[in-house]
Every structure is written in C-alpha cells, then in structure tokens.
Structure 1
Amino acid sequence: MSQSVADHLLGRLRAWSVEHVFGYPGDGINGLIAELGKAEGPHFVQSRHEEMSAFEAVGYAKFSGRLGVCLATSGPGAIHLLNGLYDAKLDHVPVVAIVGQTHRSAMGGSYQQEVDLHSLFKDVAGAFVQTAMVPEQFPNLIDRAIRTALAERCPTAVIVPADLQEADYSPPGHAFKQVPSSPPGLGAPLVVPRDEDVARAAEVVNAGEKVAVLIGQGARGAVDEVVELAETTRGGIAKALLGKDVIGDEQPFVTGSIGLLGTRPSWEMMRDCDTLVIVGSSLPYSQYLPPFGRRAVQIDIDPHMIGMRYPTEVNLVGDAAETLRRLLHRLRNRRGEAGPERWRERIETSVREWWTTMDQQAHVPADPVNPMLICNELSSRLPENAIVTADSGSAANWYARHLKFTSGMRGSVSGTLATMGCGVPYAIGAKFAHPDRPAIALVGDGAMQMNGLAELITARRYAREWSDPRLVVCVLHNNDLNQVTWELRAMGGSPRTPYSQDLPDVSYAGFAASLGLGAETVQAPEAMGPAWDRALAADGPFVLDVHCDPDIPPIPPYVESGQLTDMAKALASGDPDGFALMTKGLRTKLQEFISPHR
C-alpha cells in the first residue's frame, strides 16, 4: 500500500518524538490535515489564529526544552506565523514551521494565495528554509530543519506545496543528486574552551574583591555551578529577564532582575562591583552593567553572542556547566576573607531591604487596586511547581520585580522581541509541555484585547486534556496602554494622549463566564489575596479581571536625568493624569528610603 508524502512527513515527526503540532487548517495544508486525522500523532492543537499557533509552539519549546512545531496554510496563514517565529528567533528557541504552498503547477502564476514564501521566511528562518518539490527530498528536508533548529536554537521552515502532500512518497535512491538522511537524533558535542583561556579567566576573577555574576537563560543547565561561583567569590547573582526562573530568589545573594525592569540591588551591585562574570546572557541594556573599565569574563555557548554587550577581558565559548566547573577548579575560595565577605554582606542586606520595599510599594494606596499588589499577593501563593508567563507591557515590570520565584518554578516573557500578545498562548503552550503543572498568565488589557480573549476559547477546548486543568489568566484592567503611556512620558517628554492610549472598557470576567470558564472581578485591594486563592483552587481555566490604577509608575531602579527631564516636560505639557501620577509616583519611590533597615 502506497504512503503519501504527508503521511511520511508526520511519521518522521513522530520519529523525532514530536508530540504536538500547533496550527490552524487551510486548503494549502489539506493533505497534512487529512493525514493528521488518521495518524497516531502528533496531536494537533488548533488555535484561533496562526500567530497564536507560533506563540504556543514557542511557549511549548521554552518550558519543555524540546522542539516546538507549528503548522499553517499557504499565503495568509504562513504570513500570520511570522511574529511568533521572530519571537523564537530573538529568544533563541527551537521551532519548526511547516507551511503549505499552492500547487507546483501553479507556482509563478500569481495564483490565489501564492506568496514567495522562501523570500518571506528567509530572514526569520534563515538558518534553514526550503521548499520541497519532489517526494525524494524527504526525509532529508524535515530532518535538517529539526537538526538545525535544535543545534542553533532558532526557527526553521519547510514549505510543502499542496499537491506534493498528496503525492505518493518514494524515498531518495542511491543515485546521483539524491540526498538521503540518517535516523532521527542530534549528537550535540560538548563544547569547552581552551585551558589557557580558562586560566586567563580565573586570573581575572581571582583578582576581584567585589564580584558580580549576571546570568541569563543560557545558565539553566548550570545552576549548581553558578551558585558555587557566587559562594566561592562571595559575590551576588543578578538575573536577566529570561533568566528569572533559572535560580530561585530564596538564595539571599540573588539580587533579582536587571535592566529597565530590574531591582535596585542589581543596579547597585553592578555599579559598585570590580569584576563581572556573565553566564549565558545577552542583556542589551549596557547602561545597567558596570561602568566601562571593570574587569569582566563572559561564558556563552554561542560565539556570535560573545563580547557584544560589555568590553569583556576574557571570553569563554562553551557549555556553561562544564566551563564553570573548569573555572571553579582554578578559583581561590574567598570564604572568610574580609573584603569579599563585606561585599557579600552588603549584597544580602540590600536584597532583604528590597523585598521589604517591594511589599511597602505594593501597599501604596491606589485607585482602585495597586498593580504591584497583584503580583505581591500572588508571590506568596505561587504553587511550588507553577509556570508563570507575562505579556509585554507594564505587567512585565511587576512580574520581574515582585514575583519571588523558588527553585523549580518556571517563568518567561517575550524577552528580546518584547511583543504584545504572547502571555496567554505561552501559557497554553506551557500546559501542553507540562499538563500536570498550573500555569498563570499576567496580561495587560491591551494584550488581552489584542488576542487573549479569543485564545480563552482554546484554553476551554483543551483543558480536559490536562491532568492539572488550572490555567489562571490575570488581566491588569486599567483601560490604558500603560507601558507605552509611561514611555511617552519618560522617554518622549509627551503627555498622555487619550486618543491613542485609551482602551474600550470590556468585562474580561464577563467574557470568560460566557465561555463557561471560572471568572472573578476584583475592584478592591483587600479582595486581591482571596481572589488568587479561589483562582488557584479552581478545577479549570479561570480569569481574574483586576481593575488597577494606571497612575502607579513602573519606576526603574535608577532614573536617569534625561528621563526626569522628559517626565517634567510631559507634566508641564498638560498630562491629564499629571497630579495623580506625580503624587503616586513620589509616594511609591519614597518606600525605598523609609525601609526599617535603613
């Protein structure tokens, strides 16, 4: 009995242990959709929009550590995938996009839904994008797409014309210009730096009295080694946003996030350290790193990302865990030495004060709910195996600063693309990666209106497949595109512009309830904690619609003079909320200076 190309392709995905394909049907992939209905897998997860399919594949890959796969039809379906695939590219996530194309006989004829997909994908999936023209190109095309995505941690794309999907499959032969393939699997090498480079790095670190460590998602497999580095040097650990969940905040020397959304302890540590060690991070905000001239070492598996954020003295290209183990063998143990111990004590004192300050800021009076209180009340209630996603916008500020993760919790954001609309689909992807763990999405009302409302339908549809059906979507409801509003004020010197920033008022709880989901509206600060309790105890997806104050400012750990000038200009230009934001901003910032520890 003959086998179609579509059937062979799906079988090859199964051989690669692909369990889920996130997609949306269309006639450009009819052959694949028909075979998915007959096949034993992968499981097809239907989103409400192809962009959501791509985001769900990214969320799945981020939280599973495995390959994400998305599927879309030709033309508009393929175009819709782009934003999610760019998110994968910029955050270094392995995703394969499989897309349809018009029949081969019509290609080049300006046929319906014919788009030059190779050109379309050549930037976002430039590491590997190919169009299949004959059956014999498989399985090589799909194998190379997967191997490249996994090896380079990037998106790749395979374009399969609709008629080819239905054609009989014939394997490549032992013949000229036929390309075979090997069995699925990726024998990734262990990359380690040269011994002489490790010795140079050790000399730099050993000379330091005040060591700061910055980690990103690339340190995920090196937690024990990073902690030992901090203990040996008596330094502290700051975390880039994508590394927030790498090491738990229960460690007293973990200063938390860094950058625009970072903490004051991280900023102070970077300002005052004499030595910096960067592990698996490409944090772009160099102004939040130490002043130029401090000694620095960087460790990264990707040589393309080395030495591009800070003028590092020694760069070590290699696996983070193995490289750190080799470095640790050469480091002096600074435990008990006066200078490093004073540095460590200073870091730990700053961290204790910071968490007190965060609690105080969360309880600054607001109208009606302080948005910081949302994450403050969640933090102590987070299940130990929780997965948290945050959408881009002011929600990411509170996620970065107020959530105290413990070891084992997971969390992520759109780190580099910083795209709106990823929070809910990320959480859905997380539920397919870990159906036995609760997921929580923190989403602004702008992102919720953009695409989160529709994707609640997807959550409802698949919740019964998850052994732990809890998926809590918390909407920060302030009827304002809040992050952009603050950027207009602080970076553009512009007052708030209601015509562009105001959002239509929507009952997010009402919409969720109309779908049969659990839902609750929160309009008072004293109701926030009990509402989280009920949402986290629910037996299915739940929406918290929290009416929060748009005038509570996402103040960075260090306010530059230019930002103050622009803010003053915005207020002087007649910002409609000027008086409220000035008084609430001052009251919030003052909490840093009235801590009982100071």
Structure 2
Amino acid sequence: MTDLVADALVARLRDWGADRVFGYAGDGINTLLGALQRSRAPEFVSTRHEELAAFMACGHAKYTGRVGVCMATQGPGAIHLLAGLYDAKLDRRPVVAIVGQVVSTALGSGYLQEVDLHALFKDVCGQYVQTVFAPEQAMMALDNAMRTAIATSTPTCLIIPHDVQQAEMPDELEHSHGVVPSAAVSAKARISAPDEQVRRAADVLNAGERVALLVGRGAAGAAAEIAQVVDTLGAGVTTSLLGKPVLDEGEPWHTGVMGHLGTTASAELMTNCDTLLIVGSNDPWTEFYPAPGQARAVQIDIQPRVIGAKYPVEAPVVGQAAQALSALSALLERKQDRRWQEQVHQWRQRWQEDAERRAAADTTDANPEAVVRALSDHLPADARVAVDTGSSTYWYARHLRLPPGVPAHLSGYLASMGCALPYGVAAKLDAPQRPVVALAGDGAMQMGGLLELITIADRWRSWEDPRFVVLVLHNADLTEVSWEQREMEGNPRFTASQDVPRFPYADYAELLGLHGIRLTDSAEADDAWRKALAADRPTVIEAVVDPGTPLLPPLMPESKTDKVLGALDREGATAARERVTDQRRHEQD
C-alpha cells in the first residue's frame, strides 16, 4: 500500500521523537487517526475535550522539556485548543498543534465547520502557522513547525485539509524549483555571558550592602551556583511562583515565593534591599519588586527581550544562568558584614512561625492551609506535582515544601483554571513509575478535572506505580475571586457568581473504581495523605475546607485592608474578618 500524506506525517513525528499525541477524534482528522492506528507510535492519548488535550501537550512539554503534540479536527475542535495553546505561549513551552481542515476545494465556500484557521491561530501560534496544500510540502512544514517550537519555546500550528491527508505521498521528492527538502533535526545554542557584562554586574553587586536575589524558572539547574553567590554576598533569596521548584526552601537564606501569593519574609526582603540580582525571572508582580530607584539591579537571562522589562536594570547579563553565575562568582568580593543576612534569617523564621500559626488556626470545616501543609511530610522524593489556578496555588506557594528535584507545574502567566488534571496525566504517562499529586479547588475540578478523572480511571491499571493523588479543596466557593472582589473592589462576595455547586468528589472517585477519602477536619489531613500515597490505585482526597481562610497579599497596605474589612462587614462574615485582623496584627508585630 502506498503511504498517504497522513502516514508520512506520523512517521515524521516518530523521527522527531514524539512519544504521544494528545487529542480528540473528529472526521477532519480521520485519516491522521488511521495512520496513528497503523503505526502504533506515537501513542494517541484520547482526552475528554480538546482543551484538555492542549493542556496535556503543554504539561508534557513542561515535565519533559520536549515538544508536546496535540491534534484536533477543524471548526469547534480547533477552537477548543486555544486555552491550552495560550498556556504554552505565555509560559514559553514548545507545543505543535496539528489541526484538520475541510477539503481544500471547499475553502472559502462557507462549508460545514469551515473556520479561518490562520486567523484563529495567528496570535497564539504566531511564530509558525501553516496550511499544507500539497504532499511535497508536508514534511517541510512539519519540520519547520517542530524546529520553530523548539527554537522559540512557543506553540506552532500545522493545518492539514482532509483531502491532503488522503493524498499519496511520493517515495522521493523531486529535485526541482519550488520543492523544499527538509530534515527532522534541531540543535540548541549555548549562550555564554560576555565578560564585560559579567564584570559590570560584579561591580554593582560588590557595591551593594543589602543584596537580594529574585530567582525564576530560568535558573533551573543553577542551584549550586546560586548558593555560592548567596554565600559570598551574604544575600537573601526569593523566587517567582514558577521558580519555586528551583531551590530547596529549607535553606535559611530562602524567604519563599514573592508576590501576591508570597510570604511576608519575601515582601520584607524586597522592601528593604538596596541591590537586586534577578536570575531567570520575568515575574509580573511588579508592585512586589523594590520601589524604582530603591535598588540597583543586575539581571541575568538567556532572553535579551525580558531584561529590564519588569524593573529598571543597570547591569544586563545575557547568558545561561549557571554559566553566568559561575563567571560572576569569580569576581565577587566576600562580604564580611553579615547583619543583612542575619536579618533575612529572622524574617524567614518569623514567616515560618506565622505560617505554622495560620495552618493551626481553628476554622469551620478543615483549614485548607493545614491540609496542603501536611503534604510536605508525605510527598515522595520522586513525585511530580501539578497545581491548578485558585486558592490551591496560594497554599502551594506558601506551605508546600518540595523535596529537591521534585518538579511542580502550573499555568503561570495565563493562570487558567482546569490545568492540573491534564498536566498530571501528561506527567504520569511520561513516567508511569513515578507518583503524581495534583492540587485543585472545586471550581477548577468542575471546569475540567472531573472529566479527566474518567481518563485516569480508564488508564491507571497499566501504570507501573498506580499512585495518582488528587486533592480537591471543596468549599463551594470560587475562593480566589471572592477574595479578589473584597480586596480589589471593596465588594462583598457575589453569591450568584461565586457559588460552586456541591458535588460528592470522593464518592464520584469510588464510582469510577478509584479510591476516595473525605475529610472535614484538619486533624484528618496527615492520615488522608498517608493512606492516599500508600493506595493501590489513584485517590481523590475531598477536603471540605473553610472558604473564610484569607487569600490576601503579604504586608497589605491599610487602604486595601479597609476595603476588605468593609466588604466582610457587609457580608456579616465575622469569622473571616477576625482572621484578616489577626493576620494583619501578626504582620505588624
């Protein structure tokens, strides 16, 4: 049988090392699905919705560092991919979307499910979006989509009309004008920081007396070099949310995550430093940086376009983090005065005590801070963690201590709900011998998580390690938005928009043949994690928690505090008001 274009494309995906294709069936990709069936590799992973397929492809890229591939039919299938692809674009992860299209002879006729896919994808896949109109074009277009995704760390898109998928693929391409040969190869450059940039950075840092580091995910693999700089300069360190897995938060100079969902220690560090070294971070929470003019700044990044984009930088350094920091360390002068670092240690200790106190607070139902904090004592050293958007993100940022080397991913810049379960599935399919833990609120769970529990129930028996633990923070409230309404608008909680319907998450897990655990008291959290991580199948922990636990920024100004308290007064939320007042009092002591 002569290979079709679809067969050749699937074979080319294998050449690129694609392990699996995440997608949902539809007639616009039937020929491609047939080719995947015949080839048996890459594996086709059927999700419950195309959006979840794109999130899985993005999750695959985040956990593996390799290109994630997703597939959908034309029209609604293609449209549904957008949220996951934007997640990949904003968090800079390589993903290739392969999308069907109506037959090429019908384009422009207003055909059934005909959508202008170039217009649809031109922003999210702006680096490369191409329709294949001829067999001779197919390999070149796929190669360019893969190469561009790798080179730019962004999503790309290949649109293939149904009739082109069905066309016969020539055994050899004709060597002639207009036929462009290509190869399934790519390579990455090593970018070394120029010596003059490193010297200028050293001058700024050596002149500083109160040095702080802001570390992002671009510093991954440079933990030893960061520790050396910190030791030499007597510095303190905070991380962006995406940078949390880069460093061991047990270090005495580590103040935790920065920003709205960060720690008071990190807020103090940024408020009081006179010199800032930004490494591999483009964190958007600019109000939590030092005030402009307060600190002289050095920034190390592999991407020139982000340097100085969030804070005025005096000494830019373009290069890979580990190399640049190693070169920088050789030029730094050891600071003998350690009073600044001692102050950092005190801020960190105060935050640890405050975090423990917050988690121990009595609440209606379980305290969500205590439930997530308890995971720190049980998280396996080889686990992979997926975090959804919402209150679970706050408690992850502030309370969960990751063992060194444990990856954790979330929707960073898009901050899209519904990502944790598809991320977790992608992580598990890549490494079925490793346990996975996913953290989600009930709103995120109802947005997409319940659907992907069906996928987990369908697949778990083939996993070498069956452990896949899903924590659902069940409080019947879109909690993060409720607190944003109070803090940003001064409005009381809007019931019509914020209520999340009650749902029996643990019972639903049991219905699917999984394990379900329901807890309503903080004291039950340790036992729940212990049982879930010893179970012989995936487990849903349904933690019925208090929505009145404050989701507020560290060192919140009085003007915002007054807004929040006024909103809570209009709600009659006495207990939540007391919690806010108590937190503010401890921050000010």
- Give, in whole Å, the separation in 1 of the partners of 2:560 and 2:384: 34
Structure 2: how far apart are the matches of 1:132 and 1:185? 20
Is residue 132 of structure 2 the alignment partner of residue 132 of structure 1? yes
1:519–1:315 distance in 2 versus 1, CA, 3 Å: same
Within 2, Cα distance between the matches of 1:204 and 1:63? 36
Partners of 1:101 and 1:220 in 2: how far apart? 39
After TM superposition, list the pairs within 5 Å mapping 1:117-156 onto structure 2: 117-156=117-156
Is the contact between residue 173 and residue 180 of structure 1 (CA under 8 Å) also seen in structure 2? no
Q: Does residue 372 of structure 2 align to residue 371 of structure 1?
A: no
Local SS of the residue matching 1:245:
helix
Q: How does 1:12-31 map to 2 (within 5 A)?
A: 12-31=12-31
Give CA-to-partner distance per residue, 1:341-376, whole Å, 9 cap, x none.
Answer: 111222123223322221111010001101101111
Contact 2:237–2:253 (Cα < 8 Å) also in 1 = yes
Residue matched to 2:300 = 299
Q: Is the 8 A contact 2:476 2:501 kept in 1?
A: yes
Of the three residues 577, 584, 587, the one matched with 2:582 is: 587
Deviating runs (4+, > 4 A) in structure 1? Answer: 588-594
Paired with 2:69 and 2:254, the residues of 1 have a C-alpha distance of 35
Structure 1 unmatched ranges of 5 or more: none
CA contact (8 A) 2:555 2:587 kept: no
Letter in 1 for 2:328: L
Cα distance, 1:318 vs. partner?
1.6
Tell me the equivalent position of 1:37: 37
Contact 1:471–1:541 under 8 Å retained in 2: yes
User: Partner amino acid for 2:533?
Assistant: L
**Residue 591 of structure 1: CA displacement?**
5.1
Q: Which residue of 1 aligns with 2:449?
A: 452
Match of 1:209 in 2: 209
Q: Secondary structure at the match of 2:245?
A: coil
Q: Secondary structure at the match of 2:517?
A: strand
- Is this contact kept in 2: 1:364–1:587, CA < 8 A? no
Residue by residue, what CA displacement relative to the aligned partner does 1:429-448 show, whole Å, maximum 9, x if unpaired? 11122222111111110111
Whole-Å separation in 2 of the counterparts to 1:289 and 1:126:
31
Q: Secondary structure at the match of 2:554?
A: coil
Quote how far apart the aligned CAs of 1:581 are.
Answer: 1.1
- How many Å separate the matches in 2 of 1:318 and 1:311? 19
Once residues 562 and 118 of structure 1 are traced to their aligned partners in structure 2, the CA distance between those partners, rounded to angstroms, is 47
Give, in whole Å, the separation in 2 of the partners of 1:318 and 1:560.
37
Matched AA of 1:73:
T
Question: Which residue of structure 1 lines up, in the alignment, with residue 407 of structure 2?
Answer: 410
**SS across alignment from 1:480:** coil
What is the CA–CA distance in structure 1 between the aligned matches of 2:26 and 2:127, rounded to whole Å?
26
Q: What whole-Å deviation, never above 9, does each CA across 1:209-249 have from its counterpart, x for those lacking one?
A: 21111111111132222222212212122110111101111
Contact 1:279 1:298 in 2 (8 A): yes
What amino acid does structure 2 have at the position aligned with 1:453? L
Aligned to 1:390: 387
1:148 and 1:466 map into 2 onto residues whose CA distance is 33
Aligned counterpart, 1:318: 319
Q: Is the 8 A contact 1:385 1:410 kept in 2?
A: no
Q: CA deviation at 1:540?
A: 1.7
CA positional deviation for 1:192? 2.2
After superposition, the Cα gap between the structure-2 partners of 1:462 and 1:489, relative to the gap in structure 1 and judged at 3 Å, is same
Q: Deviations over 1:267-319 (max 9, x none)?
A: 11111111111111111111111121111011111122111100010111221
Measured against aligned partners, the alpha-carbon deviations of 1:382-423 in whole angstroms (never above 9, x if no partner) come to: 111222121111111001000012211111211111111111
Q: Post-superposition shift, 1:152?
A: 0.9
2:350 aligned partner:
353
- Report the alpha carbon displacement of residue 590 of structure 1 after superposing the two structures with TM: 4.6
- Verify the 8 A CA contact 2:367 2:521 in the aligned structure 1: no
The alpha-carbon distance between structure 1 residues 464 and 590, as it changes in their structure 2 partners (threshold 3 A), is farther
Size of the aligned set, in residue pairs, is: 587
Partner of 1:49: 49
Give 3-state SS (helix, strand or coil) of 1:479's partner: coil
Amino acid at match of 1:381: H
In 2, the alpha carbon distance for the partners of 1:310 and 1:223 equals: 23
Residue in 1 that maps onto 2:571? 575
Corresponding position of 1:328: 329
CA distance in 1, matches of 2:228, 2:87: 32
Q: Quick one: distance in 1 between partners of 2:582 and 2:314? A: 42
Residues of 2 paired with 1:47 and 1:591: CA distance? 47
| Structure 2 letter corresponding to 1:145 | A
Q: Does the CA contact (< 8 Å) of 1:250 and 1:406 recur in 2?
A: no
- Per the alignment, residue 192 of structure 1 pairs with 192
What residue in structure 2 maps to residue 176 of structure 1?
177
Which residue of structure 2 lines up, in the alignment, with residue 101 of structure 1? 101
Q: What is the CA-CA distance between 1:333 and the residue it aligns to?
A: 2.6
What SS does structure 2 have at the residue aligned with 1:421?
coil
What secondary structure sits across from 2:246 in the alignment?
coil
Moved more, 116-125 or 375-384: 375-384
Distance 1:592 1:431 in 2: 40
Shift of 1:526: 1.6
**Secondary structure at the residue paired with 1:489?**
helix
What secondary structure does 2:346 align onto?
helix
TM-score in terms of structure 2 length: 0.97
**Greater alpha carbon shift after TM alignment, 562-571 vs 4-13:** 562-571
Which residue type is aligned with residue 137 of structure 1? Q
* Greater shift in the superposed pair: 206-215 or 81-90: 206-215
* Aligned twin of 2:159: 159
**Which of these residues, 459, 463, 467, is aligned with residue 464 of structure 2?**
467
Q: Using the alignment, how far apart are the partners of 1:155 and 1:172 within structure 2?
A: 28
TM alignment of 1:433-512, pairs within 5 A: 433-512=430-509
2:561 corresponding residue in structure 1: 564
Q: Report the CA distance between 1:592 and its aligned residue.
A: 4.9
**Whole-angstrom CA distance in 2 between matches of 1:207 and 1:479:** 52
- Alpha carbons of structure 1 residues 297 and 15: separation in structure 2 relative to 1, 3 Å: same
2:214 is paired with a residue of what secondary structure?
strand
**Amino acid of the structure 1 residue aligned with 2:482:** T
SS in 1 for 2:563: helix
- Aligned residue in 1 for 2:5: 5
Higher mean displacement: 510-519 or 578-587: 578-587
- Looking at structure 2, the residues matched to 22 and 590 of structure 1 have their Cα atoms a distance apart, in angstroms, of 50
Over the aligned positions, Cα root-mean-square deviation in angstroms equals 1.4
Decide which of 515, 535, 538 is 2:532's aligned counterpart. 535
**Contact 2:235/2:253 (CA < 8 Å) preserved in 1?**
yes
Cα distance in 1 for partners of 2:471, 2:430 equals 21
Code of the residue aligned with 1:524 in structure 2: it is D
| Other-structure match for 1:80 | 80
Q: 1:464 and 1:589 mapped to 2: Cα distance?
A: 49
Structure 2: any 5+ residue segments left out of the alignment?
none
Match of 1:242, SS state, is: coil
Q: Once the 2 structures are TM-superposed, how far is the Cα of residue 593 of structure 1 from its aligned partner?
A: 6.7
Moved more, 171-180 or 517-526: 171-180
Instruction: Give runs of aligned pairs for residues 331-342 of structure 1, distance below 5 A.
Output: 331-334=332-335, 337-338=336-337, 341-342=338-339
Matched letter for residue 437 of structure 2: I
Q: For the residues of structure 2 that align with 1:71 and 1:590, how far apart are their CA atoms?
A: 53
